[in-house]
């Protein structure tokens, strides 16, 4: 995953690579985001899709959310 540093340059995050169970794609403020749960973390996170790098689909199950999920509250 990529992020902008203090020098305004795009660099790779220190905690890359990450494994995320995606739930929904959102459009907000002119950008696409993916909403999901990162492996080992309980709360939902969002990531800007154009800042993702080297995406791979893993051949395993994903963490499911039980109960209501309203994607509109994240947009």
pLDDT along the chain (75 residues), means of 10: 72 72 89 88 85 80 62 63
pLDDT of residue 63: 60
Domain boundaries, the chain: 19-57
pLDDT value of residue 31 = 94
Q: Rounded CA gap, 27 and 11, in Å?
A: 23
How far apart are alpha carbons 4 and 75 in whole angstroms? 21
According to the 3-state scheme, what is the secondary structure of 14-25?
CCCCCCEEEEEE
Question: What predicted TM-score, i.e. pTM, was given to this entire model?
Answer: 0.63
């Amino acid at each position: 995953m990529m992020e902008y540093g203090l020098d305004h340059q795009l660099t790779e995050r220190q905690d890359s690579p990450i494994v995320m169970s995606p739930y929904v794609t959102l459009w907000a403020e002119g950008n696409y985001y993916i909403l999901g749960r990162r492996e080992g973390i309980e709360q939902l996170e969002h990531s800007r899709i154009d800042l993702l790098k080297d995406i791979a689909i893993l051949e395993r199950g994903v963490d499911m959310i039980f109960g209501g999920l309203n994607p509109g509250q994240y947009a």
